[in-house]
Copies of this chain bind each other. A is one copy, B any other.
Amino acid sequence: MADKPISRFPVPALDDMPEDIRDTILGVQEKAGFIPNVFLTLAHRPDEFRAFMAYHDALMEKDSGLSQADREMIIVATSNDNNCLYCVVAHGAILRIRAKDALIADQVATNYRKADITPRQKAMLDFAMKVSNNARAVGDEDFATLHSHGFSDEDIWDIAGVTSFFGLSNRMANVTSMRPNDEFYMMGRG
């Protein structure tokens, strides 16, 4: 499938990228063994690339009351609801690895209510789905429900932040027809 386009927009060669972006990408490649296509697709717009990655890291690499697996669950559940192929496949892989669970990503993507997760995680995903689809109606009763599951206000911000940021990502991936790397499909299933 190496000949399938990874974006419907131009994808710059590594040599043509600004140095900081090339360095970022080479760093990821060294760690992951391949370059996730989101990096190449967004490198078409260097300033947006930088802001996107900074936002991603601010949400995903911070300390939080949400584990990294929790955050990946939010991405996988809302991305399938938004029918974003790139995000479900790529973050499904990361979720399997973070949660050390080969089945969890397909469960959470398809119907988190039937997944092998805790009631606390289901409440977290209920809220993420509301932020994704009906943020207009988020209010005190949602905060109360989440508090009753042990989430702090800061955790709630984190749920909303991850959901909202990947809502952006889902939309851009769908518009650009961003193609997930073949490598992601099998990661963490072993």
Hey, which bits of chain A sit against chain B, CB under 8 A?
1, 4, 8-9, 44-45, 47-48, 50-52, 54-55, 57-59, 62, 80, 82-85, 88-89, 92, 102-103, 106-107, 109-111, 113-116, 131-132, 135-139, 143, 153, 156-157, 160-161, 163-165, 167-172, 174-177, 179, 182, 185-186, 189
Looking at the complex, which one of B58, B170, B175 makes contact with A51 (CB distance below 8 Å)?
B58
4 A-B pairs with least C-beta separation: A51-B55, A83-B136, A47-B58, A51-B54
The reply to whether B174 and A156 form a contact with Cβ atoms under 8 Å apart is no
Q: Contacts of A185 on B, CB cut-off 8 Å?
A: 102-103, 106, 189
Copies of this chain in its oligomeric complex: 6
The reply to whether B55 and A136 form a contact with Cβ atoms under 8 Å apart is no
Residue of B nearest to A52 (CB): B55
The reply to whether A132 and B83 form a contact with Cβ atoms under 8 Å apart is no
Q: Say whether chain A's binding surface is mostly helix, strand, loop, or mixed.
A: helix
* Bound Cα distance from A139 to B38, whole angstroms: 19
* Bound Cα distance from A153 to B176, whole angstroms: 10
The reply to whether B58 and A55 form a contact with Cβ atoms under 8 Å apart is no
The reply to whether A135 and B170 form a contact with Cβ atoms under 8 Å apart is yes
Q: Contacts of A107 on B, CB cut-off 8 Å?
A: 85
Looking at the complex, which one of B59, B106, B153, B168 makes contact with A89 (CB distance below 8 Å)?
B106
* Bound Cα distance from A167 to B4, whole angstroms: 30
